[in-house]
Amino acid sequence: MGSEHKEKRRTGQLFIVATPIGNLGDITYRAVESLKQVDLIAAEDTRVSRKLLSHYGIATPVVACHEHNEREMADTLIRRLQAGEDVALISDAGTPLINDPGYRLVSRVRESGIDVSPLPGASSPIAALSACGLPTDSFTYHGFLPRSGRHRKEMLAHVGHSGFTQVIMESPRRLVGTLRDLQDACGSDRRICVARELTKLHEEFISGSVEEVMEQLRDTHVRGEIVLVIEGSREPPAPTDDATILQRLADEEMQQLAPSARARRVAQEFRLPRSRVYDLLLTQGTDKK
């Protein structure tokens, strides 16, 4: 991000900068230099981010950009980018937009024809996957599950039936309840890994069957943010008729997705060829609902 390159651009550039998820040493040289060189840093929580910025002697001005003001801040930041300023987006920890705010901003910036460049680094779901010992060739990341209701039940059913490794975030307070729900959705012998306090002093991986992990945590007061990794189902998928597929495609949750994404999601859930689901969707006109 040298000054010579900057002079050649009419507008500024938005940098998506990953920050540490716990250990302050887990930040790249490029990220530190970029945070020093940009004109403005947009942070999820300025109080949290100032600790990191102070640690590395970064004096760049900081503004708040979080889920409650992201739409309004997008206008302000785009004006500054159009004026030729460079802006860095950071979250409280890890990679922005991965279970953190930023999607609306990035979407608006790209629509405005302004370059967006990622500076990769720490990400707790990827860190957990890399060390959990479960298959990583195909996986689905869900973020935090809905706390209750039909959508939670549907998501847990998807987790239980999918043949891919599943990754979800969870809070210490809700972990035991989620493990009980997983026991119902996946069975007691499904392999899981609870990864907590990643990169920190008390980092811990608790692995085993759902039943074994629940037993290990029975009298434990769990602390710290948790990534929960669940083995994919080893059972062959049950035959799925067209009516069941169409019913799932028509669910309210699915209506929020584009047709192609909807077909891919349902194909993964039922472990079917995507082409079959997509053909059904088009033939029945479900994509027009």
pLDDT of residue 240: 79
Residue 115 half-sphere exposure, CB side, CA atoms within 13 Å? 14
Q: Is 47 contained in some domain?
A: yes
Which residue is listed with tokens 């991000």? 1
Q: Is 7 contained in some domain?
A: yes
Instruction: Evaluate whether 267 touches 277 at the Cβ level (below 8 Å).
Output: yes
Which among 209, 230, 251 is the end of a domain?
A: 230
pLDDT of residue 126: 97
Same domain, 115 and 206: no
Q: In sequence order, what are the beta bridge partners of 139?
A: 165
Closest Cα partner for 101 from 114, 92, 113? 92
Same domain, 11 and 112: yes
Q: Is 237 contained in some domain?
A: no
Same domain, 31 and 104: yes
Q: Which domain CATH number covers 79? A: 3.40.1010.10
Domain count, the chain: 3
CB atoms within 10 A of CB 17: 26
Which among 188, 207, 230 is the end of a domain?
A: 230
Identify the burial level of 37 via C-beta atoms within 10 angstroms of its C-beta, where 0-12 means exposed, 13-18 middle and 19 or more buried: middle
* DSSP line for 88-123: EEE-SSBSTTSSSS-HHHHHHHHHTT--EEEE----
Same domain, 277 and 247: yes
Same domain, 222 and 264: no
Which among 122, 147, 163 is the end of a domain?
A: 122
Same domain, 12 and 106: yes
Same domain, 173 and 281: no
pLDDT above 90 coverage of the chain, percent: 69
pLDDT tens-digit profile of 20-71?
999 999 999 999 999 999 999 999 999 999 999 999 999 999 999 999 999 9
pLDDT classification of 1: cutoffs 50, 70, 90: low
Q: Is 73 contained in some domain?
A: yes
pLDDT tens-digit profile of 81-104?
999 999 999 999 999 999 899 999
Q: Which of 27-41, 216-230, 248-262 has the lowest mean pLDDT?
A: 248-262
pLDDT of 141 above 80: yes
Higher pLDDT, 219 or 196: 196
pLDDT of residue 286: 46
Q: Is 141 contained in some domain?
A: yes
Same domain, 224 and 193: yes
Q: Which domain holds residue 170?
A: 125-230
Q: Which domain CATH number covers 194? A: 3.30.950.10
pLDDT classification of 288: cutoffs 50, 70, 90: very low
Tell me what the mean pLDDT of segment 100-110 comes to.
95
Which residue is listed with tokens 């859930």? 269
pLDDT of 3 above 60: no
